[in-house]
Chain A
Amino acid sequence: MELLEIFLKSIFIDNMVFATFLGMCSYLAVSKKVTTAVGLGAAVIFVMLVTVPLNYLLDQYILRPGALAWMGEDYAEYDLSFLTFILFIATIATMVQLVEMIVEKFAPALYNSLGIFLPLIAVNCAILGGSLFMQQKEFNNITEATVYGVGSGIGWFLAILAIGAIREKIRYSNVPPAFRGLGMTFILTGLMAIGFMSFGGMLTGGDEAPTKEVVENVTPAETVEVNEVATDSTALETVTDSLTQTVQQ
């Protein structure tokens, strides 16, 4: 349940593009066509899947204060957190290179579709942002961090896919000249972000225990209502029937 929550939250509520503006450069530059947008989006998911857990391990065992305790007592007091940026970005750059080489060797077809986008990704803010937010959120274990990474990647993928599709369609609309291209894309992204804000309430419904209490409190009142309705009207019979059934159950 916890994992599902992290997953959904990273896709919809903390969406990389709409909530934190990460990866905007490539989002704007590569979203003119849906096909290229899909290619870059897939590459981002893939790289996030690799780098976020890796940076989680780095953070746990090297960077955070006291993380070096596994090397022995003498190292327990070291705090290397100031090296975070350099280590994270170095990991990302090397992983991107490595992934590029592996994909080129073993999956040429995938390389042909992702290939040109992979180097672009090393400097995509969404990737570094994912790792930095992962560090800030202090996940309990590597599974949570991985799920967060994949979820953020999928969120970014959805965003670029949507704007790619809209930009292909908007070519046929009569946009005021000054807003053509970049300006309209920004405003559209803003409107989509407003849409995504409505997901904000999705996970704040409370947990299971309180809802049960509410149901128990409500049932007596409901039976009264049902009786009144049953005496008053015949049109609502079906509804009242189903309601009384649930009450009896």
Chain B
Amino acid sequence: MANTNVEKEPLFSKKNLGLVKDPLTDNNPVTVQVLGICSALAITAELKASVIMALSVVFVLGVGNVLVSLLRNAIPSSIRIIVQLVVVAALVIIVDLTLKAYMPDLAKKLSVFIGLIITNCIIMGRFEAFALGNGPWKSFLDGIGNAAGYGLILIIVGFFRELLGSGKLFGFPVFGDPVEKTGLYATGYENNGFMLLAPMALITLGLIIGFQRSRNKNLIETH
């Protein structure tokens, strides 16, 4: 009975699409579920690093969710955490070596933070909460959706920090040249170097959360 139900459901049913869409807004892993802030904020001083980090997490969580979902009936529950950690670690090694091979400069900048994807709470959280109880296709969608929700926040934070901190986007000067005083700098505008430092990442994220909650009253905490 359960089997026929699964087969009848189209691949992109409304429910399945919801798995991808919800984490982007109302159920965002970073701003609502409070997961995966660990390895994220330190690398958001530049938009490019944020995008690469987001893509890495999409890959690891998408593939990892499918693998854990396929293994879910074979894993004894007492050692499941270690099995999950090994699955993530193997995927992260693939990402790490790929980055080192094709983008050595960026890999150096991201340093240990690629390795820290392993302990990113989003990944373990989704494995535990979703992949262990659902089929591979649904788990894949859920993984992609949650990683994308995480990536979205990363990119928003990266956008503001790089734009206000160094006046650039993807390393391309947007406001003109700060040394020769062209473009916006001619009017006396200055870069706010403080945006590039660690505390502003936290404050930016706090403001994003506040903004989201002021638009969606359901998310407001009592305290």
Residues of A within 8 A of B (CB): 18-25, 28-29, 82-86, 89-90, 93-94, 119, 122-129, 132-133, 136, 171, 176-187, 189-191, 193-194, 197
Contact = CB atoms under 8 A, between A and B. Distances in A.
Contacts of A187: 202-203, 206-207
Chain B interface, >50% SS class: helix
Contact of A136 (B111, B217, B222): B111
Interface string B15-48: 0000000000000000100111111111000000
Given A84-B115, A133-B112, A183 B82 contact: no
Interface in B74-107: 81-82, 85-86, 89-90, 92-93, 96-97
Contacts of A122: 81, 85
B118 interface: yes
Most A CB within 10 A of own CB, among B111, B202, B210: B202
Residue from B97, B206, B213 having most chain A Cβ neighbours under 10 A: B206
B118 to A, nearest CB: 6
B184 interface: no
SS class, residues of chain A in contact with chain B:
helix
A116 B189 CA distance: 52
Contacts of B202: 21, 186-187, 189-190, 193
22 contacts: A21-B40, A22-B116, A28-B37, A82-B96, A85-B93, A86-B89, A89-B118, A93-B81, A94-B82, A126-B38, A129-B119, A133-B112, A136-B112, A178-B211, A180-B220, A182-B31, A182-B34, A182-B206, A187-B202, A187-B207, A190-B202, A190-B203
Contacts of B112: 129, 132-133, 136
Contact of B96 (A21, A23, A85): A85
Contacts of B205: 186
A180 B41 CA distance: 21
Interface string B49-75: 000000000000000000000000000
Nearest to B36: A25
A20 B210 CA distance: 23
A180 B38 contact: no
Contacts of A182: 31, 34, 206, 209, 221
Interface residues of B, number: 49
Nearest to A24: B37
B39 A190 contact: no
A193 B90 CA distance: 33
B197 to A, nearest CB: 7
B197 A197 contact: yes
Given A178-B220, A182-B221, A187-B206, A193 B199 contact: yes
A119 B221 contact: no
B206 A179 contact: yes
B85 A93 contact: yes
A20 B42 contact: yes
B210 A183 contact: yes
A28 B93 contact: no
Contacts of B220: 177-178, 180
B166 interface: no
B87 to A, nearest CB: 10
B198 interface: yes
Given A85-B115, A93-B85, A190-B202, A178 B210 contact: yes
